[in-house]
A = this chain, B = another copy of it.
Amino acid sequence: MLALAGYPLGQRFRFFDTAGGAVAGHLAELRVGAYDDPEALARFAEGLELVTYEFENVPVAAARSLAERVPVFPPPQALEAAQDRLAEKTFFQSLDIPTPPFYPVLTRADLLEGVERTGFPCVLKTRTLGYDGKGQQVLRGPEDVEGAWSRLGGPPLILEGFVAFERELSVLAVRGRSGELAFYPLVENHHQGGILRKSLAPAPGLTPRLQAQAEDYARRVLERLEYVGVLAIELFEVEGRLIANEMAPRVHNSGHWSLEGAETSQFENHLRAVLGLPLGSTRVRGHAAMLNLIGVRPDFARVLGVREAHLHWYGKEVRPGRKVGHVNLRADSWEEIRARLQRLEWIVSERQ
């Protein structure tokens, strides 16, 4: 989606992946190599103007090694801050951004002490490589403690107090090379089995106060990290205030609605940012919704038969639990969106 947004800006692309067969290879050159192979990285970087990434588990060492040869945006320190849940929450704390209570867990004794402080329910998570609900266990009572400890494969872990949130939101923010900032409106996210299922933009009932709070958090993060590109922060809404859950230093699934729903998509704005071009308007065109296609290939004709539905099929092999595409809806009112979204969810679920 970055490349599709970048061709009209006169850009050319080269992709790097650790496995062959990445679908991006259909629309630009694809290099396959290991993140820990400096020569493969050097050959990849040769002749490039800059490098960006859309996967937050790129090893920081690989990003730093590339950054010695060519500008890398977002900066490697953003990867570093986002990859370790403990570093990430400590970073939020240092910026006075509220987070759920958390405790580092290096030993079984740490875990027991942490549970003592948070009470149940609480969530035990691996510190790294978690995504789409992977690497976490909810502890509902004492009987869950041992199982979670062994299922997560031991330390380093982090124990987080459970937040009785009203809803999950996210903010997408962009910072250009000159420091210019832009913010998309807060989005309401719905997960299923730990995987983002749908996003509504702007979040229904969004108040200017809540939006201002989100932008304030995002601004602090962007400026501290000297960030360049699109950044997503996932948030909990609790009694009209926002608590930061985690951040992703990249274009984000909860921003996919922007392809048709915003004046400028997150993909185009990410590229404008890293290229040092002026940022585009983040204005919403009415209301939008995004529905992920997870492990299912729906009937395209039925999907496109829904009024103002836009299909984004990734061309990946369908596998259970794999995000293989999404559908965006755009309309002038929430009522229209709701009715069409229901119909779309029916079309998609029927095929599973």
- Which residues of A approach B to under 8 Å, CB–CB? 3-4, 7-10, 12, 26-28, 260, 263-264, 272, 276-278, 280-281, 283, 285, 300-301, 304-305, 307-308, 310-313, 315, 325, 330
Q: Pick from B27, B263, B281, B300: contact of A10, CB below 8 A.
A: B300
Can you name 25 A-B residue pairings with CB atoms under 8 Å? Answer: A3-B27, A7-B26, A7-B27, A8-B310, A8-B311, A8-B312, A9-B311, A9-B313, A10-B300, A10-B311, A12-B315, A260-B263, A263-B308, A263-B330, A272-B304, A276-B301, A277-B300, A278-B304, A278-B305, A280-B304, A280-B310, A281-B307, A281-B308, A283-B308, A285-B285
Alpha-carbon gap, A166 to B277, bound state (A): 40
Known: A26-B28, A263-B308. A301 touches B313 (CB 8 A): no
Q: Write the chain B residue with the least CB distance to A283.
A: B308
**Chain B minimum-CB-distance residue to A301:** B277
Chain B residues near A300: list those with CB within 8 A.
9-10, 277
Which residues of chain B have C-beta atoms less than 8 A from A285's C-beta? 285
A7:B315 contact, CB within 8 angstroms:
yes
Closest to A309 in B: B280
Report whether B330 and A10 are in contact in the complex, using a CB–CB cutoff of 8 Å: no
Give Cα distance in the complex from A311 to B3, angstroms.
15
Most buried by B among A27, A264, A276, A285: A27
Residues of B within 8 A of A281 (CB): 307-308
Nearest chain B CB to A96 CB, angstrom units: 34
Query: What is the CB-to-nearest-CB distance from A332 to chain B, in angstroms, rounded to a whole number?
Result: 10
16 A-B pairs besides A27-B27, A272-B304, A280-B304 with CB distance below 8 A are: A4-B4, A4-B8, A7-B26, A8-B311, A8-B313, A9-B311, A10-B313, A12-B315, A26-B28, A276-B301, A277-B301, A277-B304, A278-B305, A280-B310, A283-B308, A285-B285
